[in-house]
Chain A
Amino acid sequence: MSAANDKQRRIVPIGPYHPLQEEPEFFKLVVEGEKVVDIEIHLGYNHRGHEFISPELTYDQVPFLVERICGICSNSHPLAAVMAVEDICNLEIPERAKYLRVIVHELERIHSHLLWVGLAGHFIGYNTVWMWAWKYRDAVLDVFEMLVGNRNHYAMNKPGGVRHDLKPEMVGPIEAAMAEVEKKTWLLTKAVLDDPVIHARLEGVGILTHEQSLAYSCLGPTSRASGVPGDVRKDEPHAAYPYLDWNVITFPEGDVFAKAKVRLLEIIESVKMVRQCLKQIPDGPIEARVEEVPPGEGCGRTEAPRGEVFHYMRSDGTNRPLRHKVRAPSYMNIASNKVACVGGTIADAAITLAAVDPCYCCTERMAAFENGQQRYSWNELLRLSWEKTESIRRGMKK
């Protein structure tokens, strides 16, 4: 960079606490006027040392730890971790457990994609989309509450199978929720595709080309919107995915608009998968017993809403892993912002950076204020939550 150039360049900091995404990461945009010419990404503000803690826990405890890596993909990490253990043991899980894993995994994808659609609307100043998408997402969280007793952190997976069974009376409410989600997703999709303002804000913005996507090993909707058809559910069939009829959604354009389309259409595919699972699920046990984990190494991977989650474990024959490597999809995807953001304007940078759907936790549910006074205390909120769970249970028993 020459001295003459230096004078025209300025740095626009986004972070270390992102004002919109409300998560700790730091982007330094190097700009010339309105144009972004370079970007520097700083991470590590939220490093919690999971890979350090995990070898101190037993194989049964590890899923509970990795579940807390993220509040949104809180099924993907435990699933990949238990698949790594099952890979070490070369263990086949019961058929019913395979279907149950897919049901929870796809429900998670639906709520996560709806969450992103809402946030994307929020980022470009379209707050109606934000409010509506999150409202529709709530139906899926209610299903989780009914299925496993929690809206986040489902504690579904264990080495050898799953912890919660599907009761016959739950099928009706899940199907009703799916019908609602499908209807509303089509409504959102059509609203997004028809809106000229959204076209103007998202089309041709933040383009990640096919080659760049391959060089940065991008994953999930980020790479599928650049025409790379990678999806672990197809590439390495696991759980009940090989038994289901569904499509991998890809678009060649690589811009933010394509990423939005991929996510919206994937919700429809996930609804399809959940319905097929509910129809096809066989009776039988939901877990296989894991007697001991032999020395060796194993890799578990599964398609989280943001892309492939990868877990590597090495066992030395004791009841704890010797090494546990965790790689979340955003680790690969955020790095690609280096190329996707450069060349655009500052105004587009916010949505481009958000287009990879960087992951953060949303564990606190609400705080209600009235006339400046907090309406509910923490304990009162907890009581409200219990009452809701109880009312769902009562509704099921009828």
Chain B
Amino acid sequence: MREAEAKLRERFPDAGYYRHNENRLYITVPRERVTEACRFLHLERAMRLAICTGIDTRAGYEMLYHFSDDANGGLYTLKVIAPKDDPRIESQASWFPSTDWIEREMTELMGIEFPGHPDMRPLLTSDTDWDPEEKPLRRDYQRRGDKHERG
């Protein structure tokens, strides 16, 4: 895991690194370099995408790409932050099928936009009675019939 980290630091000196323990590395990359970082981890280091996570935080919408290095062990999490007034992150779906569904899911539940996604229909929410403007995983979301603030 140390060797991969050294390669990452060499290639992405402008990223922020945080090692939580022996098997967990968190890398905050600038929004413009997310595709480059994903391609590096998946194609050059042969890592598997475990899943992506979107989080609504004060800093903006965070998108985490969890990559697992099955051959050498270790979990690498790429972190990209999109500001709330411009929640756009480049889509990876055209070259990386694993990200197809999760990008659709994060768009409908969190409202992060992925320009360049080939097929942005809702994945989980209903086609008939769900208002596409409702984003249930946002912190300011109010449940229907429940006007209490969350969190």
List residues of A whose CB falls within 8 A of some B CB.
43-44, 47, 49, 51-52, 55-56, 87, 90, 214-217, 229-230, 235-236, 296-299, 301, 308, 310, 312, 314, 322-323, 325, 327, 331-332, 335, 338
Please determine whether A217 and B98 come into contact, CB atoms closer than 8 angstroms. Answer: yes
- Closest chain-A Cβ to B100's Cβ sits at a distance in Å of 7
Give the residues from 73 to 94 in chain B that come closer than 8 angstroms, CB to CB, to chain A: 73-75, 77
| Chain A facing B: main interface SS | mixed
27 contacts between A and B (CB under 8 A): A43-B124, A44-B122, A44-B124, A44-B125, A51-B137, A87-B21, A90-B20, A90-B21, A214-B48, A215-B97, A216-B97, A230-B70, A235-B68, A235-B71, A236-B23, A236-B74, A236-B75, A296-B20, A297-B20, A301-B68, A312-B51, A312-B66, A325-B53, A331-B51, A335-B98, A335-B100, A335-B101
Residues of B within 8 A of A229 (CB): 70
- Extra contacts, 16 of them, besides A56-B150, A215-B97 (Cβ < 8 A), are A43-B123, A44-B125, A47-B125, A51-B137, A217-B48, A217-B50, A229-B70, A230-B70, A235-B73, A297-B20, A298-B20, A314-B55, A322-B55, A322-B151, A332-B51, A335-B98
Please determine whether A308 and B26 come into contact, CB atoms closer than 8 angstroms. Answer: no
Residues of A within 8 A of B40 (CB): none
Please determine whether B126 and A327 come into contact, CB atoms closer than 8 angstroms. Answer: no
Whether, in the assembled complex, B38 has its beta carbon less than 8 Å from a beta carbon of chain A, the answer is: no
Residues of A within 8 A of B66 (CB): 299, 310, 312
Query: How many contacts between A and B, using CB within 8 angstroms?
Result: 84
Please determine whether A323 and B53 come into contact, CB atoms closer than 8 angstroms. Answer: yes
Contact flags B47-60 to A (C-beta < 8 A → 1, else 0) = 01111010100000
Residues of B within 8 A of A298 (CB): 20, 24
A323 to B55 Cα, complex, angstroms: 7
Closest 9 CB pairs of A and B: A44-B124, A217-B98, A327-B51, A325-B53, A230-B70, A47-B124, A323-B55, A235-B70, A310-B50
Please determine whether A236 and B73 come into contact, CB atoms closer than 8 angstroms. Answer: yes
A114 to B108 Cα, complex, angstroms: 37
Residues of A within 8 A of B122 (CB): 44
- Closest chain-A Cβ to B27's Cβ sits at a distance in Å of 13
A162 to B137 Cα, complex, angstroms: 31
Please determine whether B73 and A299 come into contact, CB atoms closer than 8 angstroms. Answer: no
- Closest chain-A Cβ to B4's Cβ sits at a distance in Å of 14
Residues of B within 8 A of A236 (CB): 23, 68, 73-75
- Closest chain-B Cβ to A381's Cβ sits at a distance in Å of 34
A205 to B81 Cα, complex, angstroms: 43
Please determine whether A52 and B64 come into contact, CB atoms closer than 8 angstroms. Answer: no
Residues of A within 8 A of B109 (CB): 51
Residues of A within 8 A of B97 (CB): 215-216, 335, 338
Residues of B within 8 A of A323 (CB): 53, 55
Look across to chain B and name the residue whose beta carbon is closest to the beta carbon of A326.
B51
Whether, in the assembled complex, B116 has its beta carbon less than 8 Å from a beta carbon of chain A, the answer is: no
8 Å CB contact of B50 from A43, A215, A308:
A308
Please determine whether A230 and B20 come into contact, CB atoms closer than 8 angstroms. Answer: no
Residues of B within 8 A of A87 (CB): 20-21, 24
User: Known contacts A55-B151, A235-B73, A314-B55: does B136 contact A49 (CB below 8 Å)?
Assistant: yes
Residues of A within 8 A of B101 (CB): 331, 335
- Closest chain-B Cβ to A92's Cβ sits at a distance in Å of 11
A125 to B71 Cα, complex, angstroms: 39
Residues of B within 8 A of A332 (CB): 51, 98
Give the residues from 4 to 55 in chain B that come closer than 8 angstroms, CB to CB, to chain A: 20-21, 23-24, 26, 48-51, 53, 55
From B48, B73, B101, B122, name the one whose CB has the most chain A CB atoms within 10 angstroms. Answer: B48
- Closest chain-A Cβ to B59's Cβ sits at a distance in Å of 13
- Closest chain-B Cβ to A323's Cβ sits at a distance in Å of 5
From A90, A298, A323, name the one whose CB has the most chain B CB atoms within 10 angstroms. Answer: A323
Residues of B within 8 A of A338 (CB): 97
- Closest chain-A Cβ to B86's Cβ sits at a distance in Å of 21
Look across to chain A and name the residue whose beta carbon is closest to the beta carbon of B100.
A335
Residues of A within 8 A of B50 (CB): 217, 299, 301, 308, 310, 327
Residues of B within 8 A of A296 (CB): 20
Please determine whether B77 and A299 come into contact, CB atoms closer than 8 angstroms. Answer: yes
Residues of B within 8 A of A327 (CB): 50-51
- Closest chain-A Cβ to B102's Cβ sits at a distance in Å of 8
